[in-house]
Amino acid sequence: MTDTFITPQGRKIAYHLTDGTGPAVVFLGGFKSDMGGTKAVFLEDWARQQGRAFLRFDYSGHGESGGEFTDGAIGDWFEDAQAAIGLVAGPLVLVGSSMGGWISLLLARYMPERLAGLVTIAAAPDFTEDSMWASASEDQRAALMADGQIALPSDYGDPYIITRRLIEDGRDHLVLRAPLPLPFPVRFLQGTADKDVDMAVALRLLDHAQGPDMRLTLVDGADHRFSDDRCLALIADSITEVIARL
């Protein structure tokens, strides 16, 4: 059964919380994804078998949560994540997928005392600037500024509606332009066949972040979904490894 809560900003957030021992594992999903995805559900089952506390949730405008997707931006979804982890006491291991990787890095920057470890999957920090804006044509940029939104093709269904607010708000939450200390065990996972997040992003993140225990694993042939059996097993193993390092 899905539970809900209201954030301090008044947004209705849907979530599933599994009781267990700590540190709790929190899954943060990607852009336009939801907590019913393969990775989130797999990790919930894994955590239950381990007797470990686990939280998955939908950002506002995603999945079962309230609000319209096009009304949201990185800052809103970061606030949603802050409110969601407030449901769980004690230290946390964050598992951030794609945009969730960016959100998890924001959490690491603003509340490192809550984090015991971090696992990212095809992390996409700063993608609104380095991918969406950087790859937009002059005509697209002009339309975005004039009309407030443009539609970009997606390999996952309907076109993405990209708003001017998403781009401008993203600039207020960039993590690769200033020091990024990660003072806990970190495992970055990345597929070599990812067409949405290039390996160069993972290498840049590894080079930019600062921490005593960081490791990047490249999986040959894995795509952005990172959801086949070997990838799911690697995610679980990476969480186990992070927890063992505590």
Buried b (16+ CB within 10 A) or exposed e, 176-191: beeebebebbbbbbbb
Q: What is the pTM of this model?
A: 0.97
Note if 194 is an active site residue. Answer: yes
Angle between helices 74-85 and 99-110 (to 10 degrees): 60
Tokens for 109, please give them: 């920057």
Q: What is the DSSP string of 59-127?
A: -TTSTTSSS-GGG--HHHHHHHHHHHHTTS-S-EEEEEETHHHHHHHHHHHH-GGGEEEEEEES--TTH
Read off the pLDDT band of 157 (50, 70, 90).
confident
Say which of 33, 98, 104, 238 is annotated catalytic.
98
Q: What are φ and ψ of residue 214, in 5° steps?
A: -120, 140
Task: For each of the domains in the chain, give its residue range(s) and CATH number, in order of start.
Answer: 3-126+174-244 (3.40.50.1820)
118-149 per-position pLDDT tens digit: 999 999 999 999 999 999 999 999 999 999 99
Q: What is the pLDDT of residue 160?
A: 83
Q: Over 80: is that where the pLDDT of 82 sits?
A: yes
139 flagged as catalytic: no
Asked whether the predicted pLDDT for residue 117 surpasses 80, the reply is yes
pLDDT at 155 over 90: no
Q: Of residues 126, 130, 194, 196, which has the active-site annotation?
A: 194
Strand partners, 22: none
Is 98 among the residues known to form the active site?
yes
For residues 65 and 58, is the Cβ–Cβ distance under 8 A?
Answer: yes
Residue 78 forms beta bridges with which residues? Answer: none
Query: What was the pLDDT predicted at 246?
Result: 86
How far is Cα 217 from Cα 202, in angstroms, rounded to an integer? Answer: 9
Q: Long-range contact list for 222-226, CB < 8 A, 24+ apart? A: 222/190, 222/191, 222/192, 222/193, 222/194, 223/191, 223/193, 223/194, 223/195, 224/98, 224/122, 224/191, 224/194, 224/195, 224/196, 224/197, 225/38, 226/39, 226/97, 226/121, 226/122, 226/189, 226/191, 226/194
| Residue 193 near residue 222 (C-beta atoms within 8 A) | yes
